[in-house]
């Protein structure tokens, strides 16, 4: 005779995997955001009036590439947001019973949505940057603010997901009783 797993037990075994996947994607987001900061600093250096180097056309090409990469980062963040929504659904089940894990994930979702908005705004700002070098300097300053806000939100999402993962109870032990003949 074996004990049947309850729906909550089944969800409990899937949730750690979902959260581990989200944490891995968030680590990738973190690495990418650091790379965007580096690219932005390099672009700002190229805009310096004291610097001789890349032509204005090359600088614009760098902006376009940076805009494309930030847009890819936004897509990855949106994927993580979807994973967090799914993890909430898995944790609360069909009847929608909230738990502390669900509440923590809702906080992570709020921060992830803000992160996605910051990245979307940064990508849009970079994409619509004018050809005027003065406009690019202003764009760099705006992008710096958006990336700073994105970094803050990303740190909060990472902390929220780690907290949610720590709150997930371990799956229950499965007991099997056998008849001895």
Q: What CATH number should be reported for the domain holding residue 48?
A: 1.20.120
Q: Give the pLDDT band of residue 120 (cuts 50, 70, 90).
A: very high
Predicted confidence band at 72 (pLDDT cuts at 50, 70, 90)?
A: very high
Torsion angle of the four alpha carbons 149, 155, 158, 162, in this order, in degrees rounded to the nearest 10: -140
What is the pLDDT confidence band of residue 3, given thresholds at 50, 70 and 90?
very low
What's the CA gap between 87 and 142, in Å, rounded? 34
141 assigned to some structural domain: yes
**pTM as predicted:** 0.79
Q: Which two tokens stand for residue 28?
A: 């990738």
Whether 177 is in a domain gets the answer no
* DSSP characters over 47-59: H-TT---S-HHHH
Q: Is residue 113 part of a domain?
A: yes
30-58 tens-digit pLDDT: 999 999 988 888 877 777 766 666 666 66
d(CA 164, CA 172): 18
- Two tokens, residue 140: 């760099």
Q: Is 44 exposed, middle or buried (0-12, 13-18, 19+ CB in 10 A)?
A: middle
Question: Which range marks the domain in which residue 74 is found?
Answer: 7-167
Asked if residue 2 is part of any domain, the answer here is no
pLDDT at 2 over 50: no
On whether residue 181 sits in a domain, the answer given is no
Nearest alpha carbon to residue 111 among 134, 145, 84, 138? 84
Residue 94: the pLDDT is: 65
Q: What is the pLDDT of residue 150?
A: 94
- Let me know if residue 76 belongs to a domain: yes
Residue by residue, DSSP assigns 95-162 as TT---HHHHHHHHHHHHHHHHHHHHHHHHHHHHT--SSHHHHHHHHHHHHHHHHHHHHHHHHHHHHHH
Q: Is position 174 within any domain?
A: no
Number of domains in the chain: 1
16 lies in a domain?
Answer: yes
pLDDT band at 12; cut points 50, 70, 90: low
């Amino acid at each position: 005779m074996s004990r049947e797993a309850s729906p909550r037990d089944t969800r409990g075994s899937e949730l750690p995997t979902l959260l581990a996947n989200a944490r891995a994607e968030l680590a990738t987001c973190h690495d990418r955001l650091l790379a965007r900061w580096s690219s932005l600093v390099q672009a700002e250096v190229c805009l310096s009036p004291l610097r001789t180097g890349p032509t204005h056309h090359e600088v614009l090409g760098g902006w376009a590439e940076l805009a494309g990469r930030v847009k890819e980062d936004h897509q990855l963040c949106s994927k993580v947001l979807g994973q967090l929504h799914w993890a909430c659904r898995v944790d609360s089940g069909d009847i929608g019973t909230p738990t502390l894990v669900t509440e923590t994930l809702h906080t992570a979702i709020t921060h992830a949505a803000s992160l996605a908005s910051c990245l979307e705004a940064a990508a849009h700002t970079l994409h619509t940057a004018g050809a005027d070098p003065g406009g690019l300097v202003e764009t760099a300053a705006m992008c710096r603010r958006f990336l700073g806000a994105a970094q803050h939100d990303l740190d909060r999402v990472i902390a929220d997901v780690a907290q949610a993962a720590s709150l997930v109870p371990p799956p229950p032990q499965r007991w099997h009783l056998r008849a001895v003949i």
